[in-house]
Structure 1
Amino acid sequence: MTRIIADISVSLDGFVTGPDPGPDNGLGTGGEALHRWAFSADPADRRVLREGTARSGAVVLGRRLFDVVDGPKGWDDTTGYGAGEVGRPAFVVVTSSTPESVRTAGLDWTFVTTGLHDAVAAARERAAAASSDSGTDLDVILMGGGSTIGSALEAGLVDALTLHLAPVLLGAGTPLFPGEAPRTPVQRSVIPTSTATHLTYDLFR
């Protein structure tokens, strides 16, 4: 069964970027510390990253995050989804307009201009097809940014939430929970490592 899983790194004070994020500074000032775990040599961090990317049948992201990862300082042959750990799932971008060109043209991009619900539905179809092809249940991963995941949580679109809690205080930036999300989390796993605490919750109304 395909689930919708929001998966994102967050600071101890609840920010998914540092201050002043932008296309040339995607994680904001100091925000690189949020993803230190993804490049860690800690075996537990590597396992979390490997398992998370392996279950990705399709990935949803917002336009601002797309502009970062597709920008000149974005993904390349050594740094991409899952820090190059496994595979290349389909990517679905929520956007008001389709970009004129795509630098990372080797990836499978779909641009949805009719809203988050339709983007998640399109990603679910892609993940279901990938599951059928592989013979393994694969999920839709909401990778961000923070406003996209926040909107999905508020809309009740998310089945599970995986947080990579980084031991850093950013003080400002993009908050993961800017409003009240009408869901009840049930903790399913806690994996502490040398660089983060990986938390997984099932979400229920």
Structure 2
Amino acid sequence: MEQPRIIADITASLDGFVTGPDAGPGNGLGTGGMPLHNWVFSDDPDDRGILAGATERSGVVVMGRDLFDVIDAPDGWSDELGYGATEVGKPPFFVVTRARPETIRLTGLDWTFVTTGLEDAVSQARERATVEAAGTGVLKDVVIMGGGAIVGSALAAGLVDTFILHLSPLILGAGTPLFRAGARVELAQRDVLVTSTATHITYDVL
């Protein structure tokens, strides 16, 4: 059977930050970071189509523990706002963490906590997506959604097939960087769509 694609998908400012300063539970996009995701809540039909299509193609999602803590906080995801924003997708989620959280607020979602590292989490997610495809007949993607350290590490480790970057027309000046010094990664630009709120770029990882 064909293997699921591994896609890293994230939004960043023009100066390469995925949040503003002081990001965390209760302040998920950091100070001044909310405009990063203007495209997610845009009425532009191209933005809406990108969001809906990405949510629909997400078979399994991988994230880091910091992002999970933001999502599971009292002001995090809800029945009206979740994976894919207002799309509220409910794929299985694999969280890379040192230890399982003591409590989980979002008990209605399918969580797997992987304490053996990012590579193992991606491998387990791919296996889950393959099993789901065998049952439904539809092969969907494994999506690494962040945060920035997880996406950057996955690219550096050669775990990603396709990298989707949503560039927000915003210069934050500080915050959580998408990339830190690390491995060199070559990309081939496959698609660019410019909307009123973002530039959506799809790369194949060489």
Normalising TM by the smaller chain, what interval? over 0.9
Relative to structure 1, is the Cα distance of residues 132 and 86 closer, same or farther in structure 2, using a 3 angstrom cutoff? farther
* Contact 2:12–2:165 (8 Å) recurs in 1: yes
Aligned identity (percent) is 62
Give 1:128 shift.
1.2
* Contact 2:12–2:36 (8 Å) recurs in 1: yes
Task: Quote the residue 2:193 is aligned against.
Answer: 191
SS at 2:203's partner residue?
A: strand
Residue identity in the other structure for 2:26: D
- CA–CA distance in 1 between the matches of 2:183 and 2:72? 30
* Contact 1:161–1:200 (8 Å) recurs in 2: yes
* Contact 1:92–1:119 (8 Å) recurs in 2: yes
Give 1:126 shift.
1.4
SS at 1:84's partner residue?
A: coil
Task: Quote the residue 1:147 is aligned against.
Answer: 149
Task: Quote the residue 1:58 is aligned against.
Answer: 60
* Paired residues, number: 204
Could you give the per-residue CA deviations for residues 47-97 of structure 1, whole angstroms, max 9, x where no partner exists?
Answer: 100111111110000000000000011000111000131631000000000
Could you give the per-residue CA deviations for residues 86-127 of structure 1, whole angstroms, max 9, x where no partner exists?
Answer: 631000000000011110000000000111111111111111
Q: Where does 1:60-79 land on structure 2 (aligned, <5 Å)?
A: 60-79=62-81
CA RMSD of aligned residues (A): 1.1
* Contact 1:156–1:182 (8 Å) recurs in 2: no
TM-score normalised by length of structure 1:
0.96
Task: Quote the residue 1:46 is aligned against.
Answer: 48
Unaligned runs of 5+ in 1: none
Q: Where has structure 1 moved over 4 Å in runs of 4 or more? A: none
> Among 11, 14, 31, which residue is 2:13 paired with?
11
1:121 aligns with 2:113: no
